[in-house]
Amino acid sequence: MTNVLDMDFIRYLNLFEKISRVRTNHCFRYNNNIVFAVPKNVFSKAIGKDGRNIRKISEILGKRIKIVRIAEDERDAERFFSDVVDPFTFKSFKIEEGEFVVSASRQNKAGLIGRNKTRLKEMQEISEQFFNRKLRLV
């Protein structure tokens, strides 16, 4: 999994580690949220008691924060993407011909695509970055 970071993301990661005491190298944007992907064994520690860490980071950055469990392989990809795009849901999530194929109901599909396809492009970048696979929404 390759992850390209700019200076803002490095600052976000340093702040996240300082507050939550959890080290991660996975940070990205989705739907105007800053998303941190952490291993599942430290997931609850990253969130903090009663979501304290999330609130503190959110207040400091002035942005919405989301913490998700990192996918260990392609079998975890469906859970990973459903956590990232929550509250939207998928009808099905398949791996076909070396790409992820996602289908959703009409309303969820509109939410997953977003205005000017911004959310779809973000989701495709995340798929390329974490799994080296293309993502297609049908």
Reading the chain (138 residues) residue by residue, the pLDDT tens digits are 445 667 888 999 999 999 999 999 889 999 889 999 999 899 999 999 999 999 999 999 999 999 999 988 888 888 999 999 988 888 989 988 889 999 998 888 998 998 999 999 999 999 998 888 899 988
- Cα(105)–Cα(92) distance, rounded to whole angstroms? 10
Same domain for 34 and 54? yes
At 39, which CATH number? Answer: 3.30.300.20
Any residues with CB less than 8 A from the CB of 86 and at least 6 apart, and which?
66
109 domain residue, yes or no: yes
The whole-number pLDDT of residue 4 equals: 61
State how far the Cα of 78 lies from the Cα of 97, in Å rounded to an integer: 16
> What single DSSP character describes residue 32?
T
**pTM for this one?**
0.86
Range of the domain at 87: 74-137
